Amino acid sequence: MTSSAPSIESVETRLIRIPLTRPWGADVTDIQVVAVAVRDADGGEGHGFSWTPSIGGAAVKALLDVDLIPAALGRPADPSIWIDLWHHVHEAGGGGITTIALAGLDLALWDLRARRAGTSVTDLIGRRHTRLPVYGSGVNLHYSLDELVAQAERWVAAGFGAIKMKVGSPDLARDLERVAAVRAVLGPDRRLLVDANQRWDLDTATRAVEALAAHGIGWIEEPLRADDLAGYRELASRLAPLGVPIAAGENLHTVHRFRDFLDAGALQVVQPNIIRVGGVTPFLEIAELARQRGVELAPHLLPELSAQLAYTLPETVWIEDVEDAGFASLGALVTPTGVTVADGRVAGGPDTGLGLRFA
């Protein structure tokens, strides 16, 4: 397909700040998106984006403008150029800013490829699902107990079969009180996931998970710094008797790093963020790796994008939906994607492309 694709004629980028309806903390009141528009020599147009919650948006845009776009111009307007572009920017880092920037181009090229074929990216890859389960997710460690309970009650009323909450308070007793309160709202049958956002060291994580396990937690997410492979390997050994899976991956950026963690037996749930790993192209490779290793895949954030790709996977995966943080609900899109969440399920999507064009 690459040889027959017209060449990339131009690429435009825009840095957009989108205010959050529910701030993720005192210092995270908006998210940053770099909108990317690719035009090919035949007049076709594709739209993608790079994303970073609070830090680095200007750097991502600069890397696109100064290094990636000049290397992409004149190449085939097809996502198969991803690996060459990754090699081109690898000296600046195998992942992180480089892969986040690459995602904007990759998504735009997938959008363009699907539009050229007159179909959605989901159907271009190959649809296997029309609906998937969703878990309600909250950036809520700063919420009062009453606010947290009220959020859990909203999720139950909305039909969610699983929810995720933050832990990692300086005082473990506070975490235990909050987890117990949420479990009481959920009852015994809904899945309760907890996310420490890299706040613990190894011994603290061990003590915390041993205590939290009494409340039937479905996984512990990012208990340690994301790049501490040795720590994760040791923690997995310590937690094995408890049967609490370790989840991580939102801050791993390449298939090679995911493979390192899986080879070490450090993770039971992998959570690639489609933007942070570099787009659709590497996400599909990471999903295949998870499948080969028999671990659970749970895409991180961005349900309007994650669901479209999860529909193509053989297995059923849970989609994360942070309360009131969808691009459409924040008024950030030209038109809604058609991806909807109701009764604890995600369904729908665009007729053509990815449908993610920012206003």
- Per residue in 13-41, pLDDT (tens digit) is 999 999 999 999 888 899 999 999 999 99
Question: Looking at domain 123-347, which of 3.20.20.70, 3.40.640.10, 3.20.20.120, 2.60.40.10 is its CATH number?
Answer: 3.20.20.120
- Per residue in 97-108, pLDDT (tens digit) is 999 999 999 999
- Whole-number Å distance between alpha carbons of 14 and 2: 27
Q: Let me know if 166 is a catalytic residue.
A: yes
Q: Which of 61, 164, 166, 253 is catalytic?
A: 166
For residue 244, pLDDT over 60 is answered with yes
pLDDT at 317: 98
Taking phi over 0 as left and psi of -120 to 50 as alpha, with beta for the rest, 292 belongs to: alpha
Q: Which of 47, 61, 253, 300 is catalytic?
A: 300
pLDDT at 301: 97
Q: What angle do CA 150, 151, 154 make, to 5 degrees?
A: 90
For residue 148, pLDDT over 80 is answered with yes
The SS3 assignment for 309 reads helix
Mean pLDDT of 139-154: 97
- Per residue in 58-79, pLDDT (tens digit) is 999 999 999 999 999 999 999 9
Mean pLDDT of 86-112: 97
Between the CA of residue 213 and those of 76, 238, 239, what are the distances in Å? 51, 13, 10
Mean pLDDT of 280-284: 98
Strand 246-248 relative to strand 217-221: parallel, antiparallel, unpaired? parallel
Q: Which two tokens stand for residue 230?
A: 């040795």
pLDDT at 3: 55
Domain segments of the chain as ranges: 8-117, 123-347
- To which H or E segment does residue 58 belong? helix 57-63
Classify residue 297 by burial, with Cβ atoms within 10 Å: 0-12, 13-18, 19+: buried
CATH of domain 8-117: 3.30.390.10
Mean pLDDT of 343-353: 98
pLDDT at 355: 98
